[in-house]
């Protein structure tokens, strides 16, 4: 069961839009697959990021993964709490474990994201 209050990507990020700002995090599936997160490297506030770009790294016990932004725009906030307590990504990926907030430069990109139903289908495959 995936939360239906947000959109998703095939690479297991979630995107929740409020006004012109999108909050991005990783899904519960991703959090489980990644394993325990021990360090996070997030972009600087003010950076312009482009959809699909690697904007940070997620370092786990076993591996390091790039963090891709599913949307373009200006980074307006990053979650300092997860930088200080990376386990939030594993324990509460959909809420307290959010990663970055981006002011959308192209709201049309949202149409290319998956709905909750589509993401659930992806997980079942």
- Of 2-10, 11-19, 27-35, 104-112, the window that binds other proteins (rule: CB under 8 A) is 27-35
Residue 4 or 87: the one with the smaller Cβ distance to other proteins is 87
Q: Does 48 bind other proteins (CB under 8 A)?
A: no
DSSP letters for 32-99 = HHH--EEEEE-PPTT-EE-TT-EEEEEEESS-EEEEEPSS-EEEEEE-HHHHH-THHHHH-TTTTT--
Q: Does 39 bind other proteins (CB under 8 A)?
A: yes
Q: Does 96 bind other proteins (CB under 8 A)?
A: no
The two most distant CA atoms of the chain are separated, in Å, by 38
- Of 1-9, 35-43, 68-76, 95-103, the window that binds other proteins (rule: CB under 8 A) is 35-43
- Of 4-12, 58-66, 69-77, 95-103, the window that binds other proteins (rule: CB under 8 A) is 58-66
Given 45, 50, 64, 107, the residue binding other proteins (CB under 8 A): 64
In angstroms, the Cα distances linking 32 to 29, 46, 84, 87 are: 5, 30, 20, 12
Q: Does 121 bind other proteins (CB under 8 A)?
A: no
Do residues 10 and 112 lie in contact, with contact meaning Cβ atoms separated by under 8 Å? no
The 8-class DSSP code of residue 8 comes to: E
Residue 35 or 74: the one with the smaller Cβ distance to other proteins is 35
């Amino acid at each position: 069961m995936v939360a239906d209050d947000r959109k998703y990507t095939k690479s297991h990020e979630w995107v929740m839009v409020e006004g012109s700002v999108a909050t991005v995090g990783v899904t519960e599936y991703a959090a489980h697959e990644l394993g325990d997160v021990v360090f996070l490297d997030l972009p600087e506030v003010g950076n312009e990021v482009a959809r699909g770009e690697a904007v940070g790294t997620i370092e786990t016990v076993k591996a390091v993964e790039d963090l891709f932004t599913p949307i373009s725009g200006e980074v307006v906030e990053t979650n300092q709490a997860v930088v200080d307590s990376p386990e939030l990504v594993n324990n509460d990926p959909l809420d307290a474990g959010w990663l970055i907030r981006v002011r959308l430069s192209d709201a049309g990109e949202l149409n290319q994201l998956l709905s909750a139903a589509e993401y659930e289908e992806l997980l079942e495959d």
